[in-house]
Amino acid sequence: MNALKLGCIADDFTGATDLANNLVRAGMRVVQTIGVPAAPLAAEVDAVVVALKSRTLPAAEAIDQSLQALTWLQAQGAQQIYFKYCSTFDSTPEGNIGPVTEALMDALHTDFTIATPAFPDNGRTVFKGYLFAGHVLLNESGMQNHPLTPMTDANLVRVMQAQTKRQVGLIDHKTVALGEAAIRERIQTLRADGVGVAIVDATSNDDLLRMGPAFKDLPLLTAGSGVAIGLPANFGLQPSLQASQLPPARGLQAVVSGSCSVATNGQVAHFKALGRPALAINPASLMHGHSDAVVQQVLAWATPLLQDGPVLVYSTAEPEAVKQVQAQLGVAEAGALVEHALAAVARGLVQAGVQQLVVAGGETSGACVQALGIAQLQIGPQIDPGVPWCFAPTSTGGVHIALKSGNFGTADFFSKAFTVLT
């Protein structure tokens, strides 16, 4: 078997799928594993994306899991390591982007890496070190209200510097525009100045394609999924529009949404406006050990409706409502309670015959995929940038599953997704 070209560690499950999607479209054969596999790689692929759920763990646990993933990827012969985080740089001053980056740098014995969440196809651009989401700065995009990782500063040099002992610098758009040689030269200068991590500007896919060759010799890259589009060419692979084939879709259809992002709120509203059945879970109703009973009620509601098309179960709420629940339960407790309930709903829906499942929310997707016992995903056609359909083989024939990161997807995503499969 060929040695692995690119070994990727993603800090959440939707992000892993987003990265795998970009690598597949740029010509790589990719498998996404859920967690660190126990056995060596069986498939002949160019890249493996190990999907962790480490974004909001205590930093020490995130480091531990990331290093385990690194060890496994190195054992499969990975020539370069890619640490993938969210295109909105989801983190807090405690981490986990900074601490995990440092730990991977130490383990790989490298004094320098880059960091850029840029993903222009999804409106995430970095200019002079400032991250934009669409037309506004990150901290005006709704991300300042994120339940777990509120992003209140768009200056990534500052955000990253708060999370790492290494000095943080910038490779700005002027340098990126000049191409490979200029970027390499800038890296040399930054290194000589003692900079360990450089934020990199990118406002277009052309920027990402220009930086790809300049990063060829770096043992570690840290980024959103965007940088991935320029890497397969370093290994002699050409972009391929031919999305990988998945087995034909079967079974019933459902959406489970635990994301409270602006885009997801819009998608829930759109689905309801279509007249499709939708049921909200109120986090407060899950308290005091009532979660199991609520899940049973939800499944009893959904099961007869599934025959007539997709149903939606959601905890998605506007920022004010989320804040109220968090004040009542605590941020972590509210998140865990909702994730646990939605994961149980997802499991129940699959047991009721759902074989086409859309999950909205990074953390929510992680919880659902774990509850479904999925170990590996094959990456298929893209629904919207960053969100492909995937196929997970199971003992009952397999589930098509789409893991949608909070802010991704058009307003009609929850209905459109199923038409992509047919």
Q: Do residues 154 and 133 make contact, with C-beta atoms less than 8 angstroms apart?
A: no
State both tokens at 142: 């709704």
Tell me, what DSSP letter sits at residue 231? S
What does the alpha-carbon distance between residue 76 and residue 73 come to, in Å, rounded to a whole number? 5
Q: Which residue is nearest to ligand ADP (CB)?
A: 406
CB atoms within 10 A of CB 49: 31
Name the burial class of residue 260, with classes exposed (0-12), middle (13-18) and buried (19+) by CB atoms within 10 angstroms of its CB: buried
Burial class (CB in 10 A: 0-12, 13-18, 19+), 279: middle
Among 37, 142, 169, 258, binds ligand ADP (CB under 6 A): 258
CB of 248 to ligand ADP, least distance (A): 29
Q: Omega before 265 cis (within 30°)?
A: no
Residue 120 in contact with ligand ADP, rule: CB under 6 A:
no
Judge whether 335 and 90 are in contact, CB under 8 Å: no
Amino acid at 313: V
Residue 256 beta carbon to ligand ADP: minimum distance, rounded to whole angstroms:
10
Q: How far is the CB of 79 from ligand ADP (least distance, A)?
A: 31
- By C-beta, is 315 or 356 nearer to ligand ADP? 315
For residue 194, CA distances in Å to 104, 109, 113, 186, 263 come to 18, 15, 12, 12, 40
Stretch that binds ligand ADP, among 58-66, 332-340, 349-357, 375-383 (CB under 6 A): 332-340
SS3 of residue 104 by DSSP: helix
Contact mark string toward ligand ADP, 305..324, x via CB under 6 A: ----------x-x---xx--
- In the set 142, 147, 169, 230, which binds ligand ADP (CB under 6 A)? 147
Residues in the chain: 422
Helix, strand, coil content of the chain in percent (nearest 5): 40, 25, 35
Q: Write each residue from 271 to 310 as x if it is in contact with ligand ADP (CB under 6 A), else as -, in one continuous string.
A: ------------x---------------------------
Stretch that binds ligand ADP, among 17-25, 206-214, 361-369, 382-390 (CB under 6 A): 361-369
CB of 264 to ligand ADP, least distance (A): 6
Residue 248 CB coordination number (10 Å): 9
Q: Is 361 in the site for ligand ADP (CB under 6 A)?
A: yes
To ligand ADP, the closest distance from the beta carbon of 67 in angstroms equals: 23
| Shortest separation between residue 73's beta carbon and ligand ADP, angstroms | 24
Distance of closest approach, residue 121 Cβ to ligand ADP, in angstroms: 17
Contact track, ligand ADP, 402-421, x by CB under 6 A: ---xx---------------
**Distance between CA 253 and CA 309 in Å, rounded?**
6
Q: What is the DSSP string of 145-184?
A: G-SSS-----BHHHHHHTT-SSEEEEE-HHHHHH-HHHHH
Q: Among 22, 32, 139, 261, which residue sits at the site for ligand ADP (rule: CB under 6 A)?
A: 261
For residue 130, the 8-state DSSP code is E
Measured CA to CA, the distance from residue 43 to residue 116 in angstroms comes to 30
Write down the least CB distance from residue 405 to ligand ADP, Å. Answer: 5
Helix (H) / strand (E) containing 359: strand 354-360
Contact string 334-353 vs ligand ADP (x = CB under 6 A):
xx--xx--------------
CA 18 to chain centre: 6
Pairing assessment for the beta strands 6-10 and 80-84 based on DSSP bridges? parallel
User: Does the protein bind ligand ADP through residue 325 (CB under 6 A)?
Assistant: yes
By the rule CB under 6 A, 260 interacts with ligand ADP: yes
Interacting stretch for ligand ADP, rule CB under 6 A, among 36-44, 129-137, 209-217, 358-366?
358-366
Q: In the complex, what is the shortest distance from the CB of residue 378 to ligand ADP, in angstroms, rounded to a whole number?
A: 22
CB of 64 to ligand ADP, least distance (A): 21
Q: Which of 46, 201, 363, 384 binds ligand ADP (CB under 6 A)?
A: 363
Total interface residues for ligand ADP by CB under 6 A: 25
Contact positions with ligand ADP (CB under 6 A) in 127-146 = 146
Q: Assess 113 for contact with ligand ADP (CB under 6 A).
A: no
Site residues (CB under 6 A) for ligand ADP, limited to 25-84: none
User: Shortest approach of ligand ADP to residue 72 CB, angstroms?
Assistant: 25
As a whole number of angstroms, the distance between CA 373 and CA 346 comes to: 11
Q: Residues in the site for ligand ADP, rule: CB under 6 A? A: 146-148, 258-261, 264, 283, 315, 317, 321-322, 325-326, 334-335, 338-339, 361-364, 405-406
